Amino acid sequence: MTNATKHFLTIDNGGTNTKVIIVDQDGRQLSVSSFPTDAIERRPGFREVNPGQMWRDIGKAVKAALESAGLDGSQIDGVVPVGHGKGLYVLGKDGKPFMDGILSSDSRAADLANEFESRVAEIYPISHQHVMVMQFPVLLRWLKDNEPEQYARIGHVLSNKDFIRHFLTGEILEERGDASGNNLVNLETGEYDGRLFDFFGIPEMLECMPKLVSATDRCGSITAEAAANTGLAEGTPVYAGLFDIDACALATGVLSDDIFSITAGTWNINVFPSKTMAPLDGGCMNSVFPTGNTLVEASSPTSAGNLDYVLRMMTADGSKAASYDELGAMLERTDAKYTDVLFFPFLYGSNVNLDAEGAFIGLRSSSERDQLLRAVYEGVVFAHRHHVEQLLRVLGHKPKAIRISGGVCNSDPWVQMFADVLNLPVETVAVTELGGLGGAMCAAVGSGLYGSFQEAFDNMSKLAKRFEPHADQTAVYDRKFEAYEALLTALDGGWAALRDMQNSLER
């Protein structure tokens, strides 16, 4: 039995979908089971999830994944939770859930976040984080101000995946990487810092923060109750896990500043591991990475999610205007000169002025539908380039390549566009569920099967394709990007007027 193949199960709980993935020690993806995250929107800007329903759905998905892989629970050697970053999940003083979890797409505390960000220089030397609307302390302060009865009941504060691990093991622990991405950890010491809690006006929450653990730490085992819900065997080891950005970076082998990781999905996420931290004026975030380095991040909700919305808007009945195969064919038969229309992919948020919203620029009576669609593809990549240039200013030199993940990987022409716009080689990996693979690598290292994440990557992940930039296309995109950035600069003082006008209208 000692030479039997090891199997690892990841519960990847995203803000849009939750997936259960089983991967073996060689990185083979044996099964995937998924269900949509059932978000509750009780008021505009609120995005919540019922913890009881989430746990029941996870149980069903784990059983389905085991069945699909032809395994029983006793054949799983380790379980790892991977979750969306930020948001807020709490337990009462009795260690039980009493309120809905808050997803990272929640925007109820936007005004508070803006207020705190205006003073971020006071805490940046401690946390090396900017303030975001969906971070723990911002949401906790909102609860303190607006729902004090709920706030008073809080006994423990957790990240999404740490909340799921509590259901699996009964233990209450917080993984350090997630906590550091939530503006609660001193990045010099790797521990909570009371000055951060004081800054956000929630000093009493310091005593509600669980013990910090590292991603590969064993954090208990499957309880009898969890075994009954999931079909996993009681006693199966459970490891701390990571938030999804870290998991995708590990799965794509982004382990040093030689390679950048890009995730192009609902969120536009661009990261690299660094031995130093990004400065305040760099506009980037810093957090603890499982290898011991700092993860430098530039991100915003300005990526591929914009395409689905535009496709729905272009048809009267709200269905998609074209299949992705048709869109891929359109991209292949056209090039960078095909459209002179620009698109700002700010339908869900912006990476410039907080008030900036989505727009087509350069429409004429001669503009055709496919020109607008190609402009959307290009606009998404320009938004990524905006962030990649932030990372380049921090690093001081170009990486050797980009490793890309997310829905964009389903379209080779779109990945080629990334290579052309960024003027860098772009690589994809063979496994489709990178969060699941990153979780499995975490369990493989935590269990001692592999001695490092580099060894785990070498054994469990394989590069699939490499896309080299085309110089003629890059030259055209450089001119387009220059215009894109110039227009954003020119509009910077006007977005507030748009917001004020919108607020004045009766909805």
Strands (E), 311-400: 342-344, 359-361
Calpha distance 66→70 (Å, rounded): 6
Q: Lowest-pLDDT range, 26-40, 215-229, 304-318, 417-431?
A: 304-318
DSSP SS3 for 424 = coil
pLDDT tens digits along 336-354 = 999 999 999 999 889 998 7
Percentage of the chain modeled with pLDDT above 90: 85
Given a cut of 70, is residue 322 above it in pLDDT? no
pLDDT at site 462: 95
Which DSSP string corresponds to 429-442?
ES-S-HHHHHHHHH
- Residue predicted with more confidence, 3 or 68: 68
Calpha distance 301→299 (Å, rounded): 7
Q: Lowest-pLDDT range, 3-7, 146-150, 453-457?
A: 3-7
Strand 242-243 relative to strand 78-83, pairing: parallel
Calpha distance 96→73 (Å, rounded): 26
Q: Of 96, 437, 16, 10, give the one whose Cα is nearest residue 266.
A: 16
DSSP SS3 for 163 = helix
- Per-residue pLDDT, averaged over 471-483, amounts to 99
Residue 35 β-bridge partners: 18
Given a cut of 50, is residue 1 above it in pLDDT? no
Given a cut of 80, is residue 319 above it in pLDDT? no
Given a cut of 70, is residue 2 above it in pLDDT? no
pLDDT at site 406: 87
pLDDT at site 354: 79
Cα dist from 31 to 97, 118, 168, 442, whole Å: 30, 46, 20, 18
pLDDT tens digits along 109-123 = 988 999 999 999 999
Name the pTM for this structure: 0.93
HEC string for 94-126: CCCCCCCEECCCCCCCHHHHHHHHCCHHHCHHH
* pLDDT band at 316; cut points 50, 70, 90: low
Calpha distance 431→412 (Å, rounded): 15
State phi, psi for 96 to the nearest 5 degrees: -120, 150
pLDDT tens digits along 186-223 = 999 999 999 999 999 999 999 999 999 999 999 999 99
Domain ranges of the chain: 7-240, 250-507
Fold of 7-240: Nucleotidyltransferase; domain 5 (3.30.420)
Same fold, 7-240 and 250-507: yes
Calculate the average pLDDT of the chain: 95
Query: Which class in CATH covers the domain with range 250-507?
Result: alpha beta
pLDDT tens digits along 161-182 = 999 999 999 999 999 999 999 9
- Per-residue pLDDT, averaged over 233-248, amounts to 97
* pLDDT band at 276; cut points 50, 70, 90: very high
Given a cut of 60, is residue 255 above it in pLDDT? yes
Tell me which amino acid residue 423 is.
N
- Per-residue pLDDT, averaged over 385-390, amounts to 98
Q: Lowest-pLDDT range, 16-20, 238-242, 370-374?
A: 16-20
Q: Positive or negative CA dihedral for 386, 461, 177, 11?
A: positive
State phi, psi for 466 to the nearest 5 degrees: -130, 130
